[in-house]
């Protein structure tokens, strides 16, 4: 049977009517996010206090912002995800949505993530001109003076952040939203929550835009693998681009004290737009031609299995 081509970036129609009993609702997701923040902050304070005590005993100062954030994120993620999965009556593995996706999708998804990153870097320049971010926020991670150095930072932003945030926002929250709302309404709600939870107005526009892209991939593949990769690329690529490609020499790409806030060159923004547009168009083309289950279809299969006594 022939399949109908998808419209714009829209996902296929829901295989079943929305369920108002699906977990979590928008309100429940907000409460889960607050719980996540509470556990993260509490565990982070406890870890820093322990480091302070250890430093006093050893008569030295331990700077471990990156490792502290990593451990606190992982612990908070485990607590909230386990609670949410139990309420959703699903296993943690089901919530993680680690279903395989065609390998060919990685290339356009990577281009999309890099292109979005370049354009969002310019958006950040515009935001910084209007309302400069505080110095302490720019130096949140200790860098080379932090325990573990730059590698600890890369682990925090390239592994821990994508794993914890994608499984929560696209694996758990989007799962509940898409059973209550139309697909793109659900995606926008998850992306907005993703942006707000960062508690960083300078980062919010980029987080929202990337959240929409990651949500689109998840809706169309029923898997978090592309979102996990894209999130890692968006977080780690700036550091690798400076290390390997010397992109810090491009005006406006990295905020430097010797040049202030300046715009990126037009050619650089054009490169970002080209990568983004081509990445999205090729991804759409591949989605239209490749068989695969959408998130709604995956959830429908889960629901059928859960209601079938023979499958238990």
Residue 209 lies in a domain: yes
For 97-108, what is each residue's pLDDT tens digit? 999 999 999 999
Residue 26 lies in a domain: no
pLDDT for 97 equals 92
Length of the chain: 312
Residue 17 lies in a domain: no
Residue 7 has pLDDT above 60, yes or no: no
pLDDT for 12 equals 44
Contacts of 242 (CB under 8 A, 6+ apart): 248, 254
For 176-189, what is each residue's pLDDT tens digit? 999 999 999 999 99
For 16-64, what is each residue's pLDDT tens digit? 445 557 899 999 999 999 999 999 889 888 877 776 676 667 666 555 5
Q: Judge residue 85's burial from the number of C-beta atoms within 10 Å of its C-beta, 0-12 exposed, 13-18 middle, 19 or more buried.
A: buried
Alpha-carbon distances of 185 from 20, 84, 141, 242, 293, rounded to whole Å: 15, 21, 34, 37, 20
pLDDT for 20 equals 58
Q: What is the model's pTM?
A: 0.86
- Percentages helix, strand, coil for the chain, rounded to the nearest 5? 70, 0, 30
pLDDT for 130 equals 87
Range of the domain at 135: 95-311
Contact 189, 177 (CB under 8 A): yes
Residue 18 lies in a domain: no
For 181-211, what is each residue's pLDDT tens digit? 999 999 999 999 999 998 888 889 999 999 9
Query: By mean pLDDT, which of 116-125, 139-148, 236-245 is the weakest?
Result: 139-148
State how far the Cα of 253 lies from the Cα of 241, in Å rounded to an integer: 10
State how far the Cα of 252 lies from the Cα of 259, in Å rounded to an integer: 8
pLDDT for 54 equals 64
Number of domains the chain is built from: 1
Residue 21 lies in a domain: no
Residue 155 has pLDDT above 80, yes or no: yes
Residue 258 has pLDDT above 60, yes or no: no
Number of neighbouring beta carbons within 10 Å of residue 32: 23
Between 230 and 19, the higher pLDDT residue = 230
State how far the Cα of 209 lies from the Cα of 91, in Å rounded to an integer: 29
pLDDT for 305 equals 76
pLDDT for 141 equals 52
pLDDT, the chain, mean: 84
Residue 50 lies in a domain: no
Name the nearest CA neighbour of 70 among 137, 4, 146, 7.
Answer: 146
Residue 3 has pLDDT above 50, yes or no: no
Residue 79 has pLDDT above 60, yes or no: yes
What integer is the mean pLDDT of 100-122? 96
pLDDT for 151 equals 80
Residue 225 lies in a domain: yes
Residue 63 lies in a domain: no
């Amino acid at each position: 049977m022939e399949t109908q081509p998808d419209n714009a970036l829209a996902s296929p129609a829901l295989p079943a009517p929305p369920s108002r009993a699906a977990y979590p609702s928008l309100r429940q997701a907000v409460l889960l996010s607050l719980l996540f923040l509470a556990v993260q902050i509490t565990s982070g304070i406890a870890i820093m206090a322990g480091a302070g005590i250890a430093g006093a005993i050893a008569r030295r100062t331990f700077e471990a912002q990156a490792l502290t954030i990593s451990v606190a994120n992982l612990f908070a993620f485990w607590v909230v995800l386990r609670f949410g999965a139990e309420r959703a009556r699903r296993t943690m593995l089901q919530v993680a949505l680690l279903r395989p996706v065609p390998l060919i999708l990685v290339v356009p998804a990577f281009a999309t993530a890099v292109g979005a990153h370049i354009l969002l870097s310019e958006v950040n320049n515009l935001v910084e001109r209007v309302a400069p971010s505080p110095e302490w926020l720019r130096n949140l991670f200790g860098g080379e003076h932090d325990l573990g150095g730059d590698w600890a930072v890369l682990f925090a932003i390239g592994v821990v952040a994508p794993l914890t945030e994608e499984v929560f926002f696209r694996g758990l929250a989007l799962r509940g939203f898409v059973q209550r709302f139309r697909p793109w309404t659900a995606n926008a709600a998850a992306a907005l929550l993703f942006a707000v939870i960062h508690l960083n107005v300078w980062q919010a526009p980029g987080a929202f835009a990337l959240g929409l892209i990651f949500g689109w991939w998840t809706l169309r593949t029923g898997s978090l693998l592309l979102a996990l990769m894209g999130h890692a690329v968006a977080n780690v690529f700036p550091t690798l681009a400076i290390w390997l490609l010397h992109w810090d020499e491009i005006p406006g790409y990295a905020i430097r004290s010797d040049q202030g806030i300046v715009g990126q060159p037009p050619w650089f923004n054009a490169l970002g737009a080209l990568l983004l547009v081509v990445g999205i168009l090729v991804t759409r083309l591949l989605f239209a031609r490749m068989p695969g289950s959408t998130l709604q279809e995956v959830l429908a299969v889960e629901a059928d299995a859960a209601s079938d006594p023979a499958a238990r």
